[in-house]
Copies of this chain bind each other. A is one copy, B any other.
Amino acid sequence: MKRNQADELMALQDTLYFIGGKWRIPVINSLCNGNRRFREIERSIPGITTRMLSKELKDMEMNKLVKRTVYPDSPVLVEYEPTEYCRTFGSIILEMIKWGKAHRRVVTQS
């Protein structure tokens, strides 16, 4: 099969653009791991600030990656759920985890 390099590069850049920044993939990963509440997600990602997570979840809601549900009890409960679309990042995330584990030694040495 002939590979169209320009086409592949465009697909690659679309994905990179969509992944954009250092927090989207960890947030997707956290949601796919079953975390649903803001504080749960926040606690699962060391280093993320409340402000960054809040911005990321808003962007992800706009991009249909996350569904936000408000249960208007008292106290109000807000839940974030990954959409099917969000879960399509699964294989990329798994490959990234695999790479990170295999190359931990190399990365920490450099």
**Interchain CB contact under 8 A, B12 and A96:** yes
Tell me the minimal C-beta distance from A8 to chain B in angstroms.
Answer: 5
A92 partner, pick from B5, B64, B99, B104, beta carbons under 8 A: B99
Which secondary structure characterizes the binding site on chain A? Answer: helix
**Interchain CB contact under 8 A, B85 and A89:** no
**Interchain CB contact under 8 A, A97 and B26:** no
A110 partner, pick from B30, B64, B95, B104, beta carbons under 8 A: B64
Tell me the minimal C-beta distance from A42 to chain B in angstroms.
Answer: 13
Q: Which residues of A contact B (CB under 8 A)?
A: 5, 7-18, 22, 25-26, 29-30, 33, 44-46, 62-64, 85, 88-89, 91-93, 95-104, 106-107, 110
